[in-house]
Amino acid sequence: MRQAPQWSSNRGDTALRDDLMEIDEILNDVTSLRASSWQAPGVETNLQIDDTRLLASDVQIFIVLDSNVLISFLALVRELLASISRQTVKMALCLPNVVVAELNFLKERNPNPNTRALAQAANVWLLATVRNRNGLLRGQQKHEGLEQLETDRSHNIRRVNDDQIIDYCQYLLNAHRQGQGAVCLLSNDQNCCLKAELSGIITISPKAGTTAESIISTILRKMQNIGTHTPVSPTHIPYTTGTTNGLSHGSSSTQYSVATRSERSADGLMDLDDDENLISTSVSHPLSHLHSQLIDHLSQILPHLAYDAALQEEARRKEDKNSPQPKAKPSALYTSIHAPKGGATDASHHAFIMPTQEEVQSWKPLDCIHFALEFPPSGDTNPTARKRSQRPPSITRLKLFLLVYGQPGARRGKDWSVGDWKSSLEELEQVATFCNWESVQQCVIICRSQLSTSGLQV
């Protein structure tokens, strides 16, 4: 849940406030479009180009532009285009077909005149830049997409616009895997960024004050973290269910091996079935990357969801005269026995006073989950009666699975068995259903999709 910032009365702050409100308004317009039944047509656009002077093998970094960034941060995109022309590392801005279609739709049919004007400005600039043919802005070509997208079209399967953007990013990532290429999606669409990150694609969400140089430096830093020689993509996770002790994949430098329960049962963290295999590798593994991205994303969204749950609990208690009432100032919230104790507490089991909102933001995913399970979102206003009528789901495996690697009991993604992945995602899905967390349910769906595409049925 977005929280309104506090503004001072000077003119500079007022201008910044207006700019941020405008950005939020535009982002909402684009998000509403993607949430509607409208789907970008699979046809050529007037921004299609065939720039043979920009050989794909020459480009090392592909920066894919989303429509919300082109509309809200066109000046930044212009700055970025000028900046990449001065870089020693060859870069290019890339424009998915679906983004062009969205811009055309927004400039012609959006009811918000401000959004229409900004979409028109972005369209005009893109067309002028493409006509310049300097090789720094690439339009998506007919062949630049994964085979699955073409199969879906032939069977009239509807693919949301997010999926078409990710499809293009994955094509660029896979096509230039051997050329040390990296792909970065520039977008403020949270769902689209989540899908991209879980596909091994770097994402950056511009904010007020973001500069072109900061974007480039962030991309280069993230490239170093994941290793540009083998970009990580969960879409191509190597996996074997056989009993082979080693599997060569791509080159002799990447060896994947299968570890059985007897080899890993010493830590005693989970009861693994005898026939379940663990994937192990001597280098950074896609499962570890997927696991890390899952925890990172939950770390961002769960504090907001926990805060919403606390606000709902506070409102329910005010309505129920029989519930324990707060003994702190009205702005204080409640916390469960499991959440971090940052403030004073009431003697009642269910009346702990929550820390400040800033402290809630520091909660780990498990803290947020424990809190939400203490206070179900609906039913009896009395928390004790509500817990009796709505039994919280078990998180026995999830509480270990969501530990960040380096913490006691934590493992990397590649060290969890297929059964552990399955059980943990099932528990996370049950938590999301229990708490009415649609964004977490979507996260589980995306994880399963990535693993299923890679041959892991969870």
List of E strands, 140-213: 182-186, 202-204
- For 44-76, the pLDDT digits (tens) are 444 544 443 444 557 889 999 999 999 989 999
Q: Which of 211, 214, 194 is nearest to 203 (CA)?
A: 194
* pLDDT average, residue stretch 72-100: 91
- 184 and 106 within one domain: yes
- 292 and 179 within one domain: no
Domain count for the chain, please give it: 2
- For 178-211, the pLDDT digits (tens) are 556 789 999 988 888 888 888 888 999 998 889 9
- H or E segment and range at residue 94: strand 91-95
- 220 and 367 within one domain: no
In a domain, 213, yes or no: yes
- Give the type of residue at 13: D
Pairing of strands 278-281, 251-259: antiparallel
In a domain, 269, yes or no: no
What confidence tier does 253 reach under pLDDT thresholds 50, 70, 90?
very low
- Which pLDDT does position 266 carry in this prediction? 38
- Which pLDDT does position 53 carry in this prediction? 41
Q: In whole angstroms, give the CA distance from residue 261 to residue 417.
A: 9
% pLDDT > 70, the chain: 58
Judge whether 218 and 204 are in contact, CB under 8 Å.
Answer: yes
The last residue of one of the domains, among 225, 246, 272, is: 225
> Please, what is the average pLDDT of the chain?
69
- 302 and 213 within one domain: no
The last residue of one of the domains, among 176, 201, 225, is: 225
- Which pLDDT does position 248 carry in this prediction? 28
- 298 and 435 within one domain: yes
- 216 and 79 within one domain: yes
Judge whether 47 and 126 are in contact, CB under 8 Å.
Answer: yes
CA angle 294, 296, 298 (to 5 degrees): 70
- 291 and 181 within one domain: no
- 195 and 101 within one domain: yes
Tokens of 391: 């039994």
- For 122-133, the pLDDT digits (tens) are 988 998 888 877
In a domain, 15, yes or no: no
- 423 and 306 within one domain: yes
Chain centroid offset of residue 19 CA: 25
Residue range(s) defining the domain that contains residue 406: 286-317+354-454
In a domain, 244, yes or no: no
Ramachandran angles phi, psi of 62, nearest 5°: -105, 120
Q: Indicate the range of 57-66, 76-85, 156-165, 276-285 predicted with least confidence.
A: 276-285
In a domain, 380, yes or no: yes
- 290 and 185 within one domain: no
- 309 and 166 within one domain: no
In a domain, 243, yes or no: no
* pLDDT average, residue stretch 12-41: 51
In a domain, 125, yes or no: yes
Q: Which of 417, 447, 420, 454 is nearest to 432 (CA)?
A: 447
The last residue of one of the domains, among 225, 247, 274, is: 225
List of E strands, 269-349: 278-281, 333-335
Burial (0-12, 13-18, 19+ Cβ within 10 Å), 391: exposed
- For 379-405, the pLDDT digits (tens) are 555 555 555 556 789 898 999 999 988
- 313 and 186 within one domain: no
In a domain, 37, yes or no: no
Does the global pTM surpass 0.95? no
